[in-house]
Structure 1
Amino acid sequence: MSIISFLGCIDLTIVNTAAPAVQRDMGATVTELQLIVNVFIVALSMFMVTMGRLADRYGRRRVLYTGTAVFGVASLAAGFAGDVRTLILCRFVQGAACAVLYTSTGALVSDTFPPQQRGRAIGALYGVNGLGLAIGPMLGGLLVGWLDWRWVFWLNVPLTAIGLAVCLSAVRESREHSAAAGKPDWPGLTLISLALPALVLALTLGDAWGWTSVRILGLLALGIAGVVAFCVVERKVTAPIVDFRLFGNRTFLGALTADFSLAFFYCLAFFLMPLYLVSVRHYGSTASGLMLLPCTAVMALLSPVVGRLVDRVPPRLLLCAGFVAFALSAALQAQFTRDSHVAFVAAAFALMGIGWAFVLGPATVAALSAVPERLAGTAVGSSWTFHNLGGAIGLAVGMAVYRWSARDALDAALAARHVPGGEWAARAVADPGAGAELLRAHTGWDGRDVEALAGDLFLRGNQAAMWLLCGVAGAAFLAIGAGMRARRGTPGAKSADAVAG
């Protein structure tokens, strides 16, 4: 089950390092690359709770096997995709199937082991999950460098077969037998399934379609109305997707803030870091993957240490330390230039790994410790929902900031040389691969000037995005540092239990 769960986590980040190769091979724009990454997170968020409820009703092992098989087939199809639209569709199916990989594995591990071994088993499972998230970008770079970007997807097929083969003889069926088991919150599921994609698509396609266009305004209106209606509905149903009554517990709210901010940070950072290494520093895919090793290796090495610290140090302190490291990493990455020393780049990436290790595990522990045991499933489901939501929104908002800043830099450069802009300038920013040709065609500059300007545009956009991440990390630090201080005489679990009725 760790192998199967690992596949779901690694697929969340492995595609980012392959993005430049996909762009070269398919002529994808930056917006299309965003969709390739983001549609996976959107599908994951849309179907996670649904798949969890289906597993409870029809059997977790049965649903796990079905979802894993679909994930393997979608991975195979993604590797054979002949155009960007097909690849985006395959990524959506992957994300929907991956929702099963996340939910059923945790429930099955919990049911398989006796109570005295359950904590250690679940900790091992989440440790493998964290390793998958962290190692994805490095492994993606190595696969693209040694083989081809399509192997980023084809790698899943044999691992899926191995995971299923082991589980067939080792995992027994389990399902929830309570009266409330498997009764999906269909109104809530419908609303969040409409609202989340609408908001993410609006933020992703705003520059391409125009922020005042009818389509973008319609998507924003649908998304906002859906979120408001979702909040109203969830307060009235008996088995909500997100139990807002738990938000009265400060520790639980701090844990959700940490999960949301963590995914906001790494989904955007891991999208831009490989592009910086390939587009600005002109590293190959293998070199780019190795350059990401300071982040992934530090995260993998520190996670067990942090796991032991959680038992002795309040999660609030560990989370605050993690977001300090995130803020420092973003501040350093905002200073990147073409000629930044390798040690400087490695230090910035290593700080991100430190932050990741100090946030991922303690956030889950904080969420579980804030609620009574009977609400553990709700706590984990809410935690993952906000984690995925943070990743989808982070990439969409961050890349919108990136494009705005890069477009301002391009307009200033064109104005300085008295070159008229226009629609082509927006396309040059949205598609760095075709941007050089557009600049040559509309400006008449030589290749060296065009390459220098293209690098400057990326650095300006990257700088703006990193300052955004620095602000997000700082806001999370303040919210967690102040919000997770327990009120005197109000133990976390008792407070949560009282809030939840």
Structure 2
Amino acid sequence: MSPVSTDRRRWLALAGIAIASFLGCIDFTIVNTAIPAIQRSLSAEVEQAQWIVTVFVMALSACMVAAGRLADLLGRRRLLYAGMLVFGAASLGAGLAQSMAALVAWRLLQGVACAALYTTSAAIVAHMFAHSERGRALGLLFAANGLGLAIGPVAGGLLVASVGWRSVFLLNVPLIAAAFALCLGRVPESRGERARFDMAGFVLLAAALPCMLLAIAHGSAWGWTSGATLGAAGAGLALLLGFVLVERRVAAPLLQLSLFANGRFVLAGLANFSLAFFYCAAFFLLPWYLSSVRGQDSGAIGWLLLPVTAVMALVSPLAGRAADRVGTAPLLAGGFAFLALSAAMQAGFTVETNRAWIIAALAAMGIGWGCILGPATVAALACVPPHLSGVAMGASWTLHNLGAALGLTIATVVFQQTGFGAALWLLCGLSLLTLSLLLAGWWQARAAAAPAAGR
């Protein structure tokens, strides 16, 4: 085969992988604008509707690290293809679902499939391209991911307004089929370091998260001291304890717990956790406000949410370059300051709030998100040796997805009990607390470095 033909095959494969990764990212934000329409269509309560998103990020949280290990063991191409097929089937099932229970079950499968897409895509692209082209190829892949996050709210709003909420899921089917066709026969197989899969750790973690989320989500309805709530919470804590004990003993743990003895990694993980907690909660609350309080239709909701992700997409590359010059700490601190400002502005939203004020609040959220997303990942990788970078990335994204699941669940409970404003003040408080911890850690690190520099 000629070099030109081989080169063309690589770039076509990259296009297919980018489409699949794009679909995984757009599913984070496109579904939120459809939730009010889904509620009306399936006659669902707010606490039922939030599981459409919660179960997706919960599956991601439980399966991200496991998918990476399976890719190393079975082959990245094989897991990518499996993820594509499952994602397509789950999207079709979600689009045809006739009940909330069925929709939530299909969303669970979508989350599992997206875990496979996320963990395999970058590794496959890095393996396919030589070092001289790798940066460009990975840049295009991550640009597709950012585009998916950015256009999700607008695409969701327009699709729901023009075709209906089912189109948000059904559109995935032909697109993932096109991605599969582009990849088929063009993606080379690759594997990482083979290690025995930690099945016990995976089962314990996958079982612990639903128990904890059930206790939080339904505690107010069941009663916070009821047997059901305490039983679910107790089971979740026991399973988490079992997970920690297993991970400390196995030779190839699913999650490298020694990372959490590194204070700088813990702070980077906290930033990732808090960011996901914030934006998943906000993206659930904002469509409700725009729909129920201001009476906006789905198309208008999509356009009004665009300032968040569009500004995030614009700020992210600038933040990445700034992190190289000034370090990650100032960007993370500034990002959480913007998130706190945005939450405080949103907490005061009423039916009469000026549209310019709403756009300014959402733009502030986009600035904060853009300042945190890339630098938090860079900070997590910078504080571990190179041979642990893959493990650190998996742990960091597990914390990110766990924050997303908990944020959505806790904010929904607060919203149901005390209202929209209180839920936003919760997000403001979280941002300020994270900012304070980051500044304290930064100050402590500077203080520790000063005597060492003087010796």
Q: What's the TM-score once normalised by structure 1's chain length?
A: 0.83
The question of whether the paired residues in 1 share the 8 Å contact of 2:66 and 2:254 is answered with: no
The aligned residue for residue 481 of structure 1 is 439
The aligned residue for residue 351 of structure 2 is 338
The question of whether the paired residues in 2 share the 8 Å contact of 1:138 and 1:296 is answered with: no
Change (3 A) 1:222 1:13: same
1:277 positional shift = 0.4
1:67-466 matches, cutoff 5 A? 67-176=83-192, 178=193, 181-405=194-418, 461-466=419-424
Q: Distance in 1 between matches of 2:319 and 2:160?
A: 32
SS at match of 1:36: helix
The aligned residue for residue 5 of structure 2 is none
**CA RMSD, 1 decimal:** 1.8
The question of whether the paired residues in 2 share the 8 Å contact of 1:127 and 1:303 is answered with: no
If you compute each CA radius of gyration, which structure gives the higher value, 1 or 2? 1
The aligned residue for residue 10 of structure 1 is 26
The count of aligned residue pairs is: 433
1:97 positional shift = 1.0
Which of 53, 61, 73 pairs up with 1:45?
61
Q: Distance in 2 between matches of 1:113 and 1:193?
A: 34
Q: Distance in 2 between matches of 1:277 and 1:62?
A: 43
The question of whether the paired residues in 2 share the 8 Å contact of 1:46 and 1:189 is answered with: yes
Q: Distance in 1 between matches of 2:61 and 2:345?
A: 31
Q: Distance in 2 between matches of 1:314 and 1:231?
A: 33
Q: Distance in 1 between matches of 2:410 and 2:173?
A: 33
The question of whether the paired residues in 1 share the 8 Å contact of 2:70 and 2:79 is answered with: yes
SS at match of 1:310: helix
Q: Distance in 1 between matches of 2:249 and 2:295?
A: 54
Q: Distance in 2 between matches of 1:226 and 1:149?
A: 37
- In structure 1, list runs of 5 or more residues that go unmatched: 406-460, 492-501
Change (3 A) 1:55 1:135: same
Q: Distance in 1 between matches of 2:44 and 2:208?
A: 26
Q: Distance in 2 between matches of 1:249 and 1:130?
A: 30
Q: Distance in 1 between matches of 2:242 and 2:187?
A: 40
1:13 positional shift = 2.0
Change (3 A) 1:127 1:476: farther
Q: Distance in 1 between matches of 2:35 and 2:196?
A: 39
1:229 positional shift = 2.4
Q: Distance in 2 between matches of 1:126 and 1:369?
A: 19
Change (3 A) 1:489 1:477: closer
- In structure 2, list runs of 5 or more residues that go unmatched: 1-16, 451-455
Q: Distance in 1 between matches of 2:315 and 2:102?
A: 38
Q: Distance in 2 between matches of 1:301 and 1:168?
A: 33
1:24 positional shift = 0.8
1:57 positional shift = 1.1
Change (3 A) 1:43 1:285: same
1:222 positional shift = 0.6
**Identity in percent:** 53
The aligned residue for residue 10 of structure 2 is none
Q: Distance in 2 between matches of 1:118 and 1:311?
A: 19
**Larger deviation, residues 114-123 vs 367-376:** 114-123
Q: Distance in 2 between matches of 1:44 and 1:144?
A: 25
